[in-house]
Amino acid sequence: MLKIYLARHGQDEDNVKGILNGRRDKPLTPKGTEQVKEVAEKIKDSGLNFDKIYSSPLKRTYKTAKIISEALGMGKPSVLQDLIERDFGIMTGKHISQIEEMCKPYILKTETITYFLKPKGAETFPQLVERGKKLLSKIRKLHPKGNILLVTHGDIGKTIYAAYYNLKWKDVLTMFHFGNSDLLLLSKNSPAEEAYVFKSDQYNL
């Protein structure tokens, strides 16, 4: 049986400043590195092993994947382009305080995040779900069984989860917060509502 583990990168320089990063390629902060090291130790202490680790091409995710792989004594992570964060379009580099003024009425507010749904130039969530389905199909072909870790980002991470469990993306956006260094399990034997493996302390959104 194939088990897909999904991790979000640690805190990065845009996260701590409240900047919408999207595909901006900022590195982890010292706090972000600390978060990742903590979850890597939790993974190691739990006896969990991965047959392969894949990462988004951006610095914050690749460093996260590398820290985990080194803690487990594995080789370098492999890059998968489809794990890259959503293209935020005109919202790239904007402060989170600008979301409502620039994106109303096409927003979705949750307890932790205000999602912008279709600003100019941005990928939409339906497009992200389709990318998630494409990615999952690729992973299943490469790995019919085993434990696979995908290190990715907030928005695309949630839509991979939605695609795996065949859930509506709007429902998933409001279900939970996929925080920095959180780890989820996507498995036929793991119900959608029990996906969390490890939650990390959060210092930003």
Nearest-Å Rg of the Cα atoms of the chain is: 16
Q: Is 153 annotated as a binding residue?
A: no
Burial of 67 per CB tally in 10 Å (0-12, 13-18, 19+): buried
Catalytic residue among 70, 85, 111, 177: 85
Per the domain annotation, does 159 fall within a domain? yes
Distance CA 99, CA 105 (A): 10
Distance CA 55, CA 118 (A): 26
Contacts of residue 166, Cβ cutoff 8 Å, sequence gap at least 6 = none
Per the domain annotation, does 62 fall within a domain? yes
Q: Is 204 annotated as a binding residue?
A: no
Whole domain around residue 91: which residue ranges? 2-198
Active site residue 9: yes
Residue type, 81: Q
Output phi, psi for 104, to 5 deg: -60, 145
Q: Is 202 annotated as a binding residue?
A: no
Q: Is 127 annotated as a binding residue?
A: no
- Identify the pLDDT of residue 173: 96
DSSP state of 93: T
Per the domain annotation, does 205 fall within a domain? no
pTM, rounded to two decimals: 0.96
pLDDT by position in tens, the chain (length 205): 999 999 999 999 999 999 999 999 999 999 999 999 999 999 999 999 999 999 999 999 999 999 999 999 999 999 999 999 999 999 999 999 999 999 999 999 998 999 999 999 999 999 999 999 999 999 999 999 999 999 999 999 999 999 999 999 999 999 999 999 999 999 998 888 889 898 888 877 5
Distance CA 32, CA 49 (A): 22
Catalytic residue among 9, 95, 101, 177: 9
Give the dihedral of Cα atoms 197, 109, 122, 140; nearest 10 deg: 20
Q: Is 10 annotated as a binding residue?
A: yes
Per the domain annotation, does 129 fall within a domain? yes
Per the domain annotation, does 132 fall within a domain? yes
Tell me which H or E stretch contains 146: strand 146-152
- Which CATH number is 94's domain given? 3.40.50.1240
Active site residue 34: no
Domains in the chain: how many in total? 1
Q: Is 123 annotated as a binding residue?
A: no
Of 136, 134, 147, 145, the closest CA to residue 53 belongs to 147
